[in-house]
Amino acid sequence: MTRLVIGIDLGGTETKIGIVEESGRIIDKSIIPTKVFEGRVAVVTRISEAIKELLMNSGLSQDSIEGVGVGSPGSIDHDSGMVLFSPNLPDWTGFELASMLRTLTGIRTFVENDANSFILGEWAFGRFKGCEHMIGVTLGTGVGGGVITHGKLMTGKNGYGGELGHVIVQPGGPLCGCGSHGCLESLASATAVVNMAREYSKRFSRSLMYQSAQLTAKVVFDSAREGDLAATMIVERVTDSLAIAIGNYVHVFNPEHIIIGGGMSRAGDLLIDGIRRKLPRYVMPSFNDTFHVSLSELVENAGITGAASIVFYRHS
């Protein structure tokens, strides 16, 4: 019988919920507004109701579900499923998320950092399924990371390990949300791209970037694709920062694959080609042919399948 789990991609704006088979196929899914401002109890109650509705619509009972996996922003206690700290979910510090969701649904629940769940999703369902040495980097509002080494998720002593978005790539660089300066997140996230574009607005007021109704990272990359000078300068800065960071990851972890996901990975060749072109500057020659950098092929459903993979990983 096919194993079924529920994957929950918990985001600051919206939450995606799906019923996932062991093959990675999503049977059914729904997207609900997170409404963080209503408080954590209201958010989790809404999620539990959405799970019950999904099961009912699919003709499934809760007994047919092996477990619930939640990919949550922030630092997570892996054993208890407690959210220790989450900058985008202000009142969730010390919140026993797994316990509450299990109580509401009657299904055992596991919680993992959302970037860790991304690399677990690649490990379980991606193009390099089962790879024992791989790194995931997610480029979205922030920059997240996850590391699998010897087939195991690397979490560190307190479960905080793998914060790849907070390696320093430009000492004294832009202020990061973590309070430090020059982190990869402050130079290669979608937020950073928009911030850089705003900084360039006076110097390059006629740039294509400022002709759109809303300034987004996608607009910046699209403008660069059209040959816009200011946008190209920003993309070069982003890919240079990523190449520096990935060079460091290669030296520290010696991975076989580095997989880039998150919304900004949709920039495609403009992003990946720039990284690949610059990487040799930052990697020792002896490492040159030991790794490969690629874009995730799970982008649209990566959050749901990644969260589902938490359950499969814990019981593989």
Tell me the C-alpha to C-alpha distance, in Å, between residue 12 and each of 35, 39, 73, 79.
Answer: 8, 12, 8, 23
pLDDT above 90 for 245: yes
Task: Tell me whether residue 242 is in a domain.
Answer: yes
Helix (H, G, I), strand (E, B) or coil at 242: helix
Task: Tell me whether residue 42 is in a domain.
Answer: yes
The stretch 73-90 carries a mean pLDDT of 84
Which string of DSSP letters, residue by residue, matches 5-63?
Answer: EEEEEE-SSEEEEEEEETTS-EEEEEEEE--GGG-HHHHHHHHHHHHHHHHHHTT--GG
- Residue 16 is encoded by which pair of tokens? 């995606």
pLDDT above 90 for 286: yes
- Which of 104-118, 149-163, 164-178 shows the lowest per-residue confidence on average (mean pLDDT)? 149-163
Percent of the chain exceeding pLDDT 70 equals 99
Percent of the chain exceeding pLDDT 90 equals 78
Considering the domain architecture, whether residues 20 and 81 belong to the same structural domain is answered as yes
pLDDT for 57 equals 92
pLDDT above 90 for 218: yes
The stretch 57-67 carries a mean pLDDT of 92
pLDDT for 300 equals 76
Q: Are 29 and 19 in contact (CB under 8 A)?
A: yes
Considering the domain architecture, whether residues 74 and 146 belong to the same structural domain is answered as no
Considering the domain architecture, whether residues 98 and 161 belong to the same structural domain is answered as no
CA angle at residue 241 from 236 to 243, to 5 degrees? 95
The stretch 3-21 carries a mean pLDDT of 92
- Which of 38-47, 119-128, 288-297, 299-308 shows the lowest per-residue confidence on average (mean pLDDT)? 299-308
Helix axes 229-253, 217-225, angle to 10 degrees: 110
Considering the domain architecture, whether residues 151 and 99 belong to the same structural domain is answered as no
pLDDT above 80 for 88: no
Which own/partner contact pairs does 295-298 have at CB distance under 8 Å and 24+ positions apart? 295/259, 295/260, 295/261, 295/265, 295/268, 295/271, 296/118, 296/122, 296/126, 296/136, 296/259, 296/260, 296/261, 296/265, 297/126, 297/127, 298/121, 298/122, 298/125, 298/126, 298/261
The stretch 281-303 carries a mean pLDDT of 92
Task: Tell me whether residue 125 is in a domain.
Answer: no
Instruction: CATH number of the domain at 197, please.
Output: 3.30.420.40
Task: Tell me whether residue 204 is in a domain.
Answer: yes
How does the average pLDDT of the chain come out, rounded? Answer: 93
Task: Tell me whether residue 248 is in a domain.
Answer: yes
Q: Are 95 and 41 in contact (CB under 8 A)?
A: no
Considering the domain architecture, whether residues 270 and 153 belong to the same structural domain is answered as yes
The stretch 107-134 carries a mean pLDDT of 93
pLDDT above 90 for 75: no
The stretch 176-181 carries a mean pLDDT of 90
Per residue in 126-138, pLDDT (tens digit) is 999 999 999 999 9
pLDDT for 316 equals 61
Task: Tell me whether residue 191 is in a domain.
Answer: yes
Residue 250, φ and ψ in degrees, nearest 5: -60, -45
pLDDT for 122 equals 94
Considering the domain architecture, whether residues 108 and 197 belong to the same structural domain is answered as no
Is residue 108 very low, low, confident or very high in pLDDT (cuts 50, 70, 90)?
A: very high
Task: Tell me whether residue 126 is in a domain.
Answer: no
The stretch 107-124 carries a mean pLDDT of 93
The stretch 246-266 carries a mean pLDDT of 96
Task: Tell me whether residue 57 is in a domain.
Answer: yes
Beta pairing, strands 82-85 & 143-149: unpaired
pLDDT for 178 equals 84
Is residue 276 very low, low, confident or very high in pLDDT (cuts 50, 70, 90)?
A: very high
Domain count for the chain, please give it.
2
Considering the domain architecture, whether residues 61 and 198 belong to the same structural domain is answered as no
Considering the domain architecture, whether residues 244 and 269 belong to the same structural domain is answered as yes
Considering the domain architecture, whether residues 156 and 283 belong to the same structural domain is answered as yes
* Domain with 247 in it: 131-296
pLDDT above 90 for 229: yes
Residue 167, φ and ψ in degrees, nearest 5: -75, 145
